[in-house]
Amino acid sequence: GAGVSQSPSNKVTEKGKDVELRCDPISGHTALYWYRQSLGQGLEFLIYFQGNSAPDKSGLPSDRFSAERTGGSVSTLTIQRTQQEDSAVYLCASSLGLAGKTQYFGPGTRLLVL
């Protein structure tokens, strides 16, 4: 079956503009995660959705970041008033939702803020 997909693959924007990143998880996966990865660094957890529960937003770095998941499937990560330090690869992953289960990653969106 289809894996996790993300769009766009690459995004170049100007400082101060808003961007929306999209994630399409594997069908049937109830858990969805957003991570950020700066060049050469590890994964930074941003936000987690599980079913219909309230999302865990504890990793969001500022109130400029928000995410939603519609209908328990597709998710969008929105960054408002982008800053140069937001430049990174944004990775989405989905899993069956049970603790410790394997996560399946999308190819990521490479964001560059000029």
Partner 1 sequence: SQQGEEDPQALSIQEGENATMNCSYKTSINNLQWYRQNSGRGLVHLILIRSNEREKHSGRLRVTLDTSKKSSSLLITASRAADTASYFCATDGNYQLIWGAGTKLIIKP
* 30 versus 73: smaller Cβ distance to partner 1: 30
In this structure, what DSSP letter does residue 66 have? E
Q: How far is the CB of 109 from partner 1 (least distance, A)?
A: 10
* 12 versus 18: smaller Cβ distance to partner 1: 12
CB 19 within 8 A of CB 111: yes
Q: How far is the CB of 108 from partner 1 (least distance, A)?
A: 5
Q: How far is the CB of 38 from partner 1 (least distance, A)?
A: 10
Residues that bind partner 1 (CB under 8 A): 4, 31, 33, 37, 39-43, 45, 48, 50, 56, 89, 91, 93, 99-100, 102-108, 110
Closest C-alpha among 52, 13, 114 to residue 21: 13
Q: How far is the CB of 107 from partner 1 (least distance, A)?
A: 5
* 30 versus 80: smaller Cβ distance to partner 1: 30
Neighbouring CB atoms inside 10 A of 14's CB total: 8
Q: State the virtual CA torsion across 78, 80, 85, 86 in degrees, nearest 10.
A: 10
* 58 versus 70: smaller Cβ distance to partner 1: 58
Using CB atoms within 10 Å of the CB of residue 85, give its burial: 0 to 12 exposed, 13 to 18 middle, 19+ buried. exposed
